[in-house]
Structure 1
């Protein structure tokens, strides 16, 4: 899985950080999302999926096929 965040959409709710703090953080000054790991390990994928699902601004995009493509090369 490849994770992308759209900072311009983020409203700073922080749900992503609560669910997957190894993958997401927030800027100190305005609370906007920071992506810490664009290719999180498999054990974090359920939390990353939930973070994307509950994001009120839909600021988190997931590419489920990205990692699978890496295994084929």
Structure 2
């Protein structure tokens, strides 16, 4: 579930939704909030983004559990 950007945690891998020249979309890499703004959680590069909302970055364990649940319901 998407959350308000002002509620984004610091120093946790999260998924950001941003508005840019192409419209609204989510970034394809995990991001982290830092006091000065946002960074790419993998490369530690500072991002020049203006996110609108966020949600927790899916972990491999969560993805595997979702896949198992999907296989059971098929």
The answer to whether the superposition gives a TM-score over 0.5 is: no
When you count strand as a share of all residues, which structure comes out higher?
Answer: 2
Question: Taking structure 1 as the reference length, what is the TM-score of the superposition?
Answer: 0.28
When you count helix as a share of all residues, which structure comes out higher?
Answer: 1
Question: Taking structure 2 as the reference length, what is the TM-score of the superposition?
Answer: 0.27
